[in-house]
Structure 1
């Protein structure tokens, strides 16, 4: 535990001190904040080797295939390399597996089909370190493979060139697949637009915002706002400058919706969208992408309405299944239920003689450790402490449930409480908050804490189209509280309000004031 006085001595800024204390930053991270510098992209010899192999393939007119993944990082990293290689005149194709029919990673089936079509250089982005069967086939056929992946290496990788955060310089240790792809693209044909794609993917993949990632996101946002790229601006509802929060809420969900829904716009069409320079095509496709995201919201809302029993479920781990659940949305539903119940939640779609779904847990849990006695009943399980994917055979499902309940119902859990900073007119002034914003980007590893207010006096109330707004007095400071969920009529009529949520600034007719988007009520 690092104490507040240490941060105050370093920063001489009470509000920044609170944020540093919340995140428990070490001295190296503090130095990155207080003495920021631009970290240049890596020039590690592995990037040079990869560049040389790619240029040799182009020179000899070899066919190159880029193999990606169906999430935002996989789509962006595929787009980065496909656009770069096309601009270089390469014979390049690409493939992203179907989320439901094929699952994650490069398969042996895809390798065999690509080899039949004459591809002689495989570039794997945001996947590869666990594609053992596919890589073995490529080695047998003496076909070169380049892997740019950031997932955990569990076994020795047999490929021609492996570019991974574990094997390059320390300042790139938090790089996602798109960041690695972007750094490779800089050695081939620099394009600032691709920096913005890499920044979006870094935000989407919730990577730690230290080392190169701080510079990458700052530069990517700068290019995005300065150049107003049609393919990115068309995905937002904002007309002003985008920051990391705007990207996370406006752009990332729309990209991920395509992989989740796999609807009229496929992940392959999304790669073409990001590679296109045809404004008319971009505008038309953007409307389709936004429509699919709205459909995703509707499907999730329907699924949430079916899960009301979870709120009163007596078990330590909540398990819910339904044949009508959408396999691509179960992770979102599980996350929302976990936040509401403050328990680990498993949401499963029952289809084709198996149960496929997602697990989510509050801070303080470790899902693999929690379910270690029950994993023997699963066909597939993968993920990390707070989120995972799972598949269970139909004839093993009841055994799995019984095992989970038996092994967890008697345990006592202490999930970590999300800390907040108490709002006070002394700590939070327009000047101090504006100064804090100069330390952007905020995100994983450097989170902006939620702000808490206690028994604030309600001055006025307003019903909004999709929620409520209160103007309250906090120590003489007027604050607008906005609520778009978890609200009811009784809260609307309250004379005093206690809540926590995300703080921001309003600028109305030149008057700047604070607002809080409420996330929880006390």
Structure 2
């Protein structure tokens, strides 16, 4: 990781204009946040764009209302990730509150694949369903929609994924998509938030619980936390912390609900069901999130979520260690019939983060002579461009600059590897991160607490990373039997605890230096009513 010290030149001016302390002023300046944008950020007013702004909103609502009036059978067809599972739960719950029991299906990523397919359409038609509503699974299921039309089944598509304007769109009853709606002012919302908007339009009111589920999907799908996304997450976190919904409590563990809790605890547990569907069908997770879920089911699924997530973590660690045994000096290009297809993306992501190099990880299907994989790009290596340039070697691919999926035949496996090595050549990749220089005397409790005004942090509103430059450490203390290191820094406001987790072994080498450059984040710790400032150390660097 390469750190770049932000050159701040207008801190005093920001302090005066925005009426803020120097610490917050530096963050505002670093984010290039104008006064009007800052005022919108700290305003308690929520941003919410109504469902009616979607171009085909009326078509969708009219068809659904007609189906309800005529007692037609309706099915919700979701996706196997957190966004798709919760999108499905949101709509199933909304219909329940309208007195309508709908069918639903979360596809198996290995047998069903991504998106609506012909086989499932036929099955739903045979069961008497005459309306299918898709959530979070794309707008490219032309063949499946064509089959539905032939069988007399209408399809309403709701989605948020990118698409090419030149693509032929399915002949569906309606498509609800921000990027196809000229009047919809903010395009980057996830499937769960779109499902919530449809649900609230059907119910004619907002719902705290369903709104909270939409907040989780917004974080899990890594949507930019600006505009209405910021509002749904901020207010959703408030609802979750106030209401303590049982379905979420069983997944959360200890502590408050934060974007970190959602991103690193709740969402991975939900995603693990889709990654390892042989353990338990993800449809059970939809039932789990319904308001009136059977308590026995909820406890069983909640317990299973922890178990499956633990299994997923163990499988990922084992596969990653196996992959590292092969040469990876320029990139990771690894395939095995032993690696579970559901974790290839996790292994690739782990390598890309740790080594800052591209990663291609594949499961080999011996029966089909096919490699199905997931890849991760890094700064300086655009994955989507590489896949596009080598499309002739691939059976199929999709994704974006930093993440994607692909499949390659046995015949072209080595060709793809050689193309990747040639593309990389002698390049080295290094991620860059901007750090905000601060002085220890700026670290008062009120100043650090003021950073909460800019939360929740996430995509497009990243948490600030700070640089404490040339700081003297007044005391070194080992924690947890030497596992962690605490470095105390005395200031005029009191003691600041710089916590370096997992780095207790570095105490002697760091203590031998007169001053340190610490890079990390700020938080406030409260214990028995006493508040202290913590500086969570990410790295210690010699120079920038």
Return the TM-score normalized by structure 2: 0.87
Indicate which of 82, 89, 93 corresponds to 1:79: 89
**What SS does the corresponding residue of 1:494 show, helix, strand or coil?**
helix
Shift in CA distance, 194/34, structure 1 to aligned 2, threshold 3 Å: closer
State yes or no: 1:162 paired with 2:172: no
State yes or no: 1:427 paired with 2:445: no
How far has the Cα of 1:42 moved from its partner?
0.6
Shift in CA distance, 43/247, structure 1 to aligned 2, threshold 3 Å: same
State yes or no: 1:117 paired with 2:127: yes
Question: Does structure 2 conserve the Cα–Cα contact (< 8 Å) formed by 1:364 and 1:414?
Answer: yes
State the aligned residue count: 516
How far has the Cα of 1:408 moved from its partner?
2.3
Per the alignment, residue 180 of structure 1 pairs with 194
Per the alignment, residue 198 of structure 1 pairs with 214
Return the TM-score normalized by structure 1: 0.91
Question: Does structure 1 conserve the Cα–Cα contact (< 8 Å) formed by 2:60 and 2:173?
Answer: no
Shift in CA distance, 286/220, structure 1 to aligned 2, threshold 3 Å: same
Per the alignment, residue 106 of structure 1 pairs with 116
The CA distance in 2 between the partners of 1:351 and 1:363, in whole Å, is: 31
Indicate which of 367, 370, 375 corresponds to 1:354: 370
The CA distance in 2 between the partners of 1:350 and 1:521, in whole Å, is: 41
How far has the Cα of 1:143 moved from its partner?
2.8
Question: Does structure 2 conserve the Cα–Cα contact (< 8 Å) formed by 1:122 and 1:144?
Answer: yes
Per the alignment, residue 365 of structure 1 pairs with 381
How far has the Cα of 1:159 moved from its partner?
1.6
Per the alignment, residue 158 of structure 2 pairs with 148
Residues 185-226 of structure 1, C-alpha deviations (whole Å, 9 max, x = no match): 112224321111000000100111122112211222222122
The CA distance in 2 between the partners of 1:472 and 1:288, in whole Å, is: 42
Stretch moving more, 6-15 or 426-435: 6-15
How far has the Cα of 1:474 moved from its partner?
6.7
How far has the Cα of 1:4 moved from its partner?
5.7
Per the alignment, residue 17 of structure 1 pairs with 25
State yes or no: 1:335 paired with 2:318: no
Report 1:129-148 matches (<5 A). Answer: 129-148=139-158
State yes or no: 1:264 paired with 2:279: yes
**What SS does the corresponding residue of 2:112 show, helix, strand or coil?**
coil
Report 1:431-470 matches (<5 A). Answer: 431-454=446-469, 456=471, 457=473, 459-464=475-480, 467-470=483-486
State yes or no: 1:393 paired with 2:393: no
Per the alignment, residue 3 of structure 2 pairs with none
**What SS does the corresponding residue of 2:440 show, helix, strand or coil?**
coil
Stretch moving more, 258-267 or 467-476: 467-476
Shift in CA distance, 262/454, structure 1 to aligned 2, threshold 3 Å: farther
Per the alignment, residue 246 of structure 1 pairs with 261
Report 1:236-315 matches (<5 A). Answer: 236-238=252-254, 240-277=255-292, 278-309=294-325, 313-315=328-330
Unaligned runs of 5+ in 2: 1-5
Shift in CA distance, 187/406, structure 1 to aligned 2, threshold 3 Å: same
Q: Which has the higher contact order (CA 8 A, sep 6+)?
A: 2
Shift in CA distance, 415/460, structure 1 to aligned 2, threshold 3 Å: closer
Unaligned runs of 5+ in 1: none
Stretch moving more, 174-183 or 87-96: 87-96
How far has the Cα of 1:126 moved from its partner?
0.6
Q: What root-mean-square deviation, in Å, do the aligned CA atoms of Structure 1 and Structure 2 show?
A: 2.7
